[in-house]
């Protein structure tokens, strides 16, 4: 049985990828930061957590705050103080909040199986509000520092690395990307992460500049950020190579959410099972050609956007798009992490066993979805994780790949 939750980011040349891989730590810390006092912690919680119109206690233990759309964290950004949420049309005296343009051929609505999150069982957020996963004290205490919470960091550490199995296109002008990704719940070590995502990047060659800009989205397992090993929906952005700008989800000002049914950082359920039922999310990141904003769409539903004013190096287009998996690896005991990528199984095992991206496309300068041209692969540790490309033009898989792996094993040490 195959069910879908949701429309439908990588990198540049290998040398640049390696720079980023070793430089960023995805906010993964050891939880050793010493808060000066509870007052400091409470002040930070108050900055992050906005007043709720309604609060829903999820069956998974999360609290979902339904926050007035115009009081969400995005509006704390200095450049957003006078920002007006993008409105495309007025319908029966009500403003319709959505992109003013979509890639040609994209469906705006669909009746197929939608994403499910545990908090849906306990209620819904009213119109005009957005669901935000509440940050709690224990979330902050797991962070390595006050400023690292919710961020990726670029402090070079020789024993820390990010490893990828991904496909990418470069040297073009891309205005978006999409893929259907099956969702798994990989085993992840305590201070590690495993994710599958789409990357939209601003640079393509040489050494990554300090103003590297990206927008990213997909699913992830990250115990240090969320305190568990659950699979969660996420988005990320930065405009200075993961140094001080940007964050996951709504943990800092930036991303403007307009949808009241999905919570960034919320658990995705159900997930795929080995040799059994497969579940997918349909992800699309695309540039609204009229507003210049970069939109994140899930299951044919616009979730929100990164304002063009924040992403000046993506003001025109992106030269690099990537799709694939990533894990964080450190060697505190001298061996490779046991963290799994994707399903935890290699690409050779195929459907229902290995993880996959399918129906992979980019958006061209005519605002059309196009098939991939000159796609390339990067696999940094092929004995631990791998990738295998495929094409089937007669099915809805079109361009696809299987990817993933088990981490530490007799061949991966």
User: How far apart, in whole angstroms, are the C-alpha atoms of residue 54 and residue 125?
Assistant: 7
Question: Nearest Cα to 219, choosing from 305, 115, 149, 345?
Answer: 115
Q: Sheet with 63-68: list strands edge to edge.
A: 54-57, 63-68, 129-133
- Coil, strand or helix at 359: strand
The H-or-E segment that residue 15 falls in is helix 14-23
pLDDT at 206: 43
Global pTM? 0.90
Which segments in the chain show pLDDT lower than 50?
4-31, 89-95, 109-112, 154-158, 205-206
Residues 215, 308 contacting (CB under 8 angstroms)? no
Active site residues: 216, 326
Question: Nearest Cα to 139, choosing from 224, 55, 73, 59?
Answer: 224
Sequence-separated (6 or more) residues with CB below 8 Å from residue 311? 202, 213, 215, 237, 239, 294
pLDDT at 243: 86
Q: Please, where are the H alpha helices in 92-136?
A: none
Residues 280, 184 contacting (CB under 8 angstroms)? no
Question: Nearest Cα to 323, choosing from 375, 274, 288?
Answer: 375
């Amino acid at each position: 049985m195959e069910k879908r939750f949701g429309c439908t980011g990588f990198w540049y040349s290998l040398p640049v990828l390696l720079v980023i891989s070793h430089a960023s730590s995805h906010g993964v810390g050891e939880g050793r930061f010493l808060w000066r006092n509870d007052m400091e912690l409470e002040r930070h919680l108050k900055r992050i957590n906005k007043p709720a119109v309604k609060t829903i206690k999820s069956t998974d233990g999360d609290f979902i705050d339904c926050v007035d759309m115009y009081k969400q964290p995005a509006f704390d950004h200095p450049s957003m103080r006078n920002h007006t949420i993008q409105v495309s049309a007025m319908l029966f005296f009500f403003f319709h909040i959505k992109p003013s343009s979509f890639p040609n051929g994209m469906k705006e609505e669909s009746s197929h199986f939608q994403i499910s999150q545990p908090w849906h069982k306990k209620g819904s957020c009213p119109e005009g509000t957005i669901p935000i996963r509440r940050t709690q004290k224990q979330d902050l205490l797991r962070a390595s520092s006050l400023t690292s919470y919710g961020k990726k960091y670029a402090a070079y550490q020789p024993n820390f690395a990010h490893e990828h199995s991904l496909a990418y296109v470069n040297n073009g002008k891309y205005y978006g990307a999409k893929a259907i990704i099956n969702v798994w719940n990989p085993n992840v070590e305590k201070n590690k992460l495993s994710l599958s995502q789409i990357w939209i990047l601003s640079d393509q060659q040489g050494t990554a500049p300090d103003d590297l800009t990206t927008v990213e989205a997909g699913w992830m397992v990250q115990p240090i950020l969320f305190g568990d090993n659950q699979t969660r929906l996420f988005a990320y952005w930065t405009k200075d190579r993961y140094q001080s700008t940007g964050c996951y989800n709504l943990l800092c000002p930036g991303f403007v959410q307009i949808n009241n049914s999905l919570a960034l950082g919320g658990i995705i359920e159900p997930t795929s099972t080995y040799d059994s039922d497969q579940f997918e999310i349909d992800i699309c990141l695309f540039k609204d050609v009229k507003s210049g904003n970069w939109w994140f769409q899930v299951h044919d539903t616009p979730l929100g956007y990164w304002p063009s004013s924040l992403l000046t190096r993506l003001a025109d287009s992106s030269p690099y798009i990537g799709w694939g998996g990533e894990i964080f690896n450190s060697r505190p005991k001298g061996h490779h992490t046991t963290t799994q990528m994707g399903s935890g199984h290699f690409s050779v095992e195929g459907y229902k066993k290995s993880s996959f991206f399918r129906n992979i496309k980019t958006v061209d300068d005519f605002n059309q979805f196009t098939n991939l041209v000159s796609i390339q692969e990067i696999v940094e540790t092929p004995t631990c994780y791998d990738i295998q490309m495929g094409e089937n033009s007669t099915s809805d898989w079109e361009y696809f790949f299987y990817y993933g792996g088990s981490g530490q094993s007799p061949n991966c040490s």
